[in-house]
Structure 1
Amino acid sequence: MTDHATHLAALAHLLAHPTRARVCLALLDNRAWTATELAHHTNVTAPTISEHLTLLIEGGLLTQQRQGRHRYVRLTDSDTAHLIETLAAHTTPTPPPAPTLRAHRANHALARARTCYDHLAGHLGVAITDALTHHGLLRQDTGFALTDTGLAWFTDHGIDLPRTSRRPLARSCLDWTQRRPHLAGAAGAALCHHALTFGWCQPLGTGRALRITPQGEHALADLLGIDPHTLR
């Protein structure tokens, strides 16, 4: 028990610094970032970000890859991303007002639709999860699980699900802006990949925010009965 407590305290210490927390939140976009990019994003110096990244790597939250003069880092795996998103959802329910109009718009875009590592989140992710559940494709009463009808739905619509992955097929991820669960796991990743590949949504700038396209609104209305007006 002492070892578990020690490890938990060490993990909490890693995320207790605002700069390291900002790094982990930024990396939820499932991209590899350079130390220079993260220094700019967190508004700290190169030596400072290097120290923080070293701690996060040694603590197991990040992995790194060196390419020439650059060091690229990313979250270790989907479990780490799930941990970060879940912890973020347990922060203060009412965030302070955005200091600028630009920041307000950015926050609104993230809340409307975004990626959470490799699956869909925000209002879009929750709406899709609710629709899958409403149509009997996903069960939430005993933990997240695709039903037989749900498995057939994914197959019928050309959304490939891995059958040999050690990763859970469906998993609940608590959405930090909506305070409700959205679909993660292999099924969530496959659905996100399909949505991006077929133009249901598009990256909005270089961050995690997504723009739902008219094609996406039509597809989600047709396949899951989601009212397009609720996604705007």
Structure 2
Amino acid sequence: MNHLPAGDPAASPAPDSPDAASAASDSPASDAPAPAARLALLAGALADETRAAICMALLEGRAWTAGELARITEVAPSTVSGHLVRLMEAGVCVTERQGRHRYVRIADAATARLIDELASYAIPDRDAAHAEPVVSAPDPLARARTCYDHFAGRLGMAVTDALERDGLLRTDGAFELTEAGRQWCARAGVGLTQAGRRPLASSCLDWTERRRHLGGLAGARLCARSLEADWVRRPPGGGRGLLVTESGERAFAELLGITPRAWT
């Protein structure tokens, strides 16, 4: 057998040949750069119907056990566990232990927004009002719901519009809470202590209203404050929908000057 010199061009296959591709894939120097590898890991984690269904369930903002997710997705618990490992390895999901149970949730708001945008791109009408309403009232999701951890639907837009109208929020370009807006949050009991690098205010496209509503830390804390104060409640069956209580109607009127006509 003839041995070619190490530096001879003939020792290497042509750049476009199958042998060249094989040699490149076996070479440590050709490993994908870390950013591309992370993107591929994320894309691969979402490229499965069951894992996509898990993410859609988690977008409601609630945490679920693996057993509950198995029932939701109608697959075996052992199968769900394997899928959850893939999602956690990609940084899509994290687990939290409470008592004897371990709960799964979306890793953070940025990840939830990414998945929500992908879902809305793939399923443009997933949050739209029904073409033929089940009841005479407008679709509950279109009235008031959460977009992961902040208000969406007509309630979300009413809150955003009122904050802008009163000079509490700037919405031209990037959303920005004004100094008056910070003071309003303090009066309303909406804490704004920074946690991590999440922006104080951000915009999020509302997929039923087709307008931007308030997200970011301020949006999340306002929603949390409203749930804690019983201004809004989750419906009995759970889900993303919200019900504004009588005390909530009074609070929104006093704090923002909006009435139920704004979201019903």
What TM-score range do you get, normalising by the shorter chain? Answer: 0.7 to 0.9
Residue number in structure 1 paired with 2:244: 212
Alpha-carbon distance, 1:201 to partner: 0.7
1:22-77 Cα distance to aligned partner (Å, 9 max, x none): 21222233332111101111222222212221110111101124678754211112
Q: How does 1:6-25 map to 2 (within 5 A)?
A: 6-25=37-56
* Partner residue of 1:200 out of 211, 231, 242: 231
Letter in 1 for 2:39: L
Unpaired stretches in structure 1, ≥5 consecutive residues:
none
| Structure 2 CA distance for aligned equivalents of residues 101 and 135 of structure 1 | 35
How many residue pairs match? The answer is 229
Residue number in structure 2 paired with 1:178: 209
Residue number in structure 2 paired with 1:223: 255
| Structure 2 CA distance for aligned equivalents of residues 91 and 217 of structure 1 | 35
DSSP-derived class of the 1:33 partner:
coil
Say if 1:28 and 1:93 are closer, same or farther in 2 by CA, change over 3 A: closer
After TM superposition, what 4+ stretches of structure 1 lie above 6 angstroms from structure 2? Answer: none
Relative contact order, higher structure (CA 8 A, sep 6+): 1
1:114-165 Cα distance to aligned partner (Å, 9 max, x none): 2233222222112211221122211121301101121121122232221565
Letter in 2 for 1:81: A
Conservation of the 8 A alpha-carbon contact between 1:34 and 1:72: yes
Letter in 1 for 2:212: P
Conservation of the 8 A alpha-carbon contact between 2:143 and 2:154: yes
DSSP-derived class of the 2:59 partner:
helix
1:52 has 2:83 as partner: yes
| Superposed CA RMSD | 3.0
Deviates more, 1:188-197 or 1:205-214: 205-214
Residue number in structure 2 paired with 1:189: 220
Higher Cα radius of gyration: 2
Conservation of the 8 A alpha-carbon contact between 2:129 and 2:142: no
Conservation of the 8 A alpha-carbon contact between 1:85 and 1:175: no
Residue number in structure 2 paired with 1:86: 117
| Structure 1 CA distance for aligned equivalents of residues 178 and 75 of structure 2 | 48
1:88-112 Cα distance to aligned partner (Å, 9 max, x none): 33234345997x987x99x932332
Residue number in structure 1 paired with 2:58: 27
Say if 1:199 and 1:56 are closer, same or farther in 2 by CA, change over 3 A: same
Query: If the length of structure 1 is used for normalisation, what is the TM-score?
Result: 0.84
Residue number in structure 1 paired with 2:176: 145
Unpaired stretches in structure 2, ≥5 consecutive residues:
1-31
Identity of aligned residues (%): 50
Letter in 1 for 2:179: D
DSSP-derived class of the 1:223 partner:
helix
DSSP-derived class of the 1:209 partner:
coil
Conservation of the 8 A alpha-carbon contact between 2:129 and 2:208: no
1:184-217 Cα distance to aligned partner (Å, 9 max, x none): 2211121112211222111112222211112222
Conservation of the 8 A alpha-carbon contact between 1:19 and 1:42: yes
